[in-house]
Amino acid sequence: METGSLTREQRFKRIQLYLDRMPSLSTTVSKVLQICDRPDTSPNDLNRIISLDPVLTGRVLKLINSAYYSLPNQITTLARAIIMLGINTVKNLALSTAVLGNMGNPTSFPQLPMDLFWTHSLCVGVTAKALATRKGIPPLMREEYFVAGLLHDLGKIPLANCFPEEYGLAFDRAAATQSPLFGFETELVEFDHGRVGGMISEKWKLSGNITAVLSHHHSIDGVEENQHNLVGIVALANIYANIYDIGSAGDRFQDETTVSQVLESIDMAWSDLFELEETIQEEIEKARIFLDISKGA
190-245 pLDDT per residue, tens: 999 999 999 999 999 888 999 999 999 988 777 888 899 999 999 999 999 998 88
For residue 49, is pLDDT > 90?
Answer: yes
Whole-prediction pTM value? 0.89
3 state DSSP class of 264:
helix
CB distance 34 to 52 below 8 Å:
no
CB 16 within 8 A of CB 159: no
Q: What is the pLDDT of residues 88-142, one digit of tens each?
A: 889 988 988 888 888 877 767 888 988 899 999 999 999 999 999 999 999 878 8
Q: Are 103 and 157 in contact (CB under 8 A)?
A: yes
CA pair distance 152, 217, nearest whole angstrom: 7
Domain limits, the chain = 10-23+109-295
Instruction: Tell me yes or no: is domain 10-23+109-295 CATH 3.40.50.970.
Output: no
% of the chain surpassing 70 pLDDT: 97
